[in-house]
Amino acid sequence: MTSIRDLTCIHSVAHMAECGKYEEEFIVYGCSCVEKGKIVYHISPSVREILRFKEQAALNNQLVSPVHTLMNRCLVQTGQHEQRLYETEIRLANTLQQLYSHLFFEQLEVCNHAPFTDAAKEIFDNLRFQMNGIFSLDYLQILQGLVAMAYSSHVLTTAALQEIQQWEKKVQQQLEHDVFIEKPFKRSFYGICYLDQEGKPQYKVNAQEFMVLMEQRKLKRQRIPVTPIFQKTYWYDYGVEPKEIRKQFRKQLETYYGETYWCYWKKIKRLAPVVDKMQFQQGLHLLETTNVPEEKDALLEFGYDWNVVALEM
């Protein structure tokens, strides 16, 4: 039974919260891009929403800045939650405005204007042949990562991309009838594999996708071979520790990102770059004069994707 003292404490805490005596934490994510000649900002408290927008933009050959985040802790009175969230989003938009200028996007566009080729099409024709009869969403996700990587390098045309996407859609439709049993708990993990200086695979695993993205960006700037992000959701029963699920996820990464995977990865990255290296270097030099390190770092990441930055492999 609830005592009078407990009720008094409950009402006191509720009153203090209503009066804004406690801090609330707001975390938002965002990126910038050019639409109809103007720089626009996509901001959301959902990191997944922003990352999905960025992935789709890449498939549409739309240039988007790196994703940034901002955390704001403040007192919130009753009815002020939406206002404080909006203020946090505006603060992140202002930060993005200071980090990525028109000059940055102009240099991106100059480089990205390079035509698309089908230099990687034969690689994916072979990969799809090898995957015939293998109905696995995991392997399909790995293939999609390689396809996105090739398309961002301009070594796969839009027509070839759409052909592969149609094939992927058919495989997914065949998998829709698979029996799936939900259990009381679920946990998603995200991971990447990269090659160290000795060429040995290493792994980064986290339950937060944004943290893995930050690790991937750092490795790109260091010119270290790194995979696209792989994600998997697990359902599990009572008595199973999340750390055991994490170990299972890591073991699967070790299986998926073996010698065969890296063979295909290297074939794609060793194709002759389509983006002009001289234009890229000129853009890099121009951005060095702006004294905004984030612009240069971002261009280096694009250079990694375009295959114009020499990798340590």
Mean pLDDT score of the chain: 89
CA–CA dist 187, 201 (Å, integer) = 25
pLDDT value of position 1: 45
Rg (CA), the chain: 23
State pLDDT tens for residues 261-306. 999 999 999 999 999 999 999 999 999 998 899 999 999 999 999 9
Print burial letters for 234-267: b (CB count within 10 Å at least 16), e (below 16).
bebeeebeeeebbeebeeebeebbeeebbebbeb
CA–CA dist 42, 65 (Å, integer) = 10
154 - beta bridge partners?
Answer: none
Q: Taking residues 190-197, what's their average pLDDT?
A: 96
Cα 18 off chain centre by: 38
The identity of residue 194, as a single letter, is Y
pTM: 0.87
State pLDDT tens for residues 65-80. 999 999 999 888 878 8
Q: pLDDT at residue 134 above 80?
A: no
- Dihedral sign, Cα of residue 56, residue 207, residue 31, residue 281: negative
Compare 243 and 117 and report the one with higher pLDDT: 117
Could you give the count of Cα atoms lying within 13 Å of 3 in the half-sphere of its Cβ? 3
CA–CA dist 32, 41 (Å, integer) = 4
Compare 164 and 23 and report the one with higher pLDDT: 164
Contact 222, 205 (CB under 8 A): no
In this structure, the strands spanning 23-35 and 38-44 are antiparallel
Contact 50, 67 (CB under 8 A): yes
Token duo for residue 45: 């408290």
- Residue 16 three-state SS: helix
Print burial letters for 161-191: b (CB count within 10 Å at least 16), e (below 16).
bebbeebbeebeeeeeeeeeeeeeeeeebbb
190 - beta bridge partners?
Answer: 206, 231
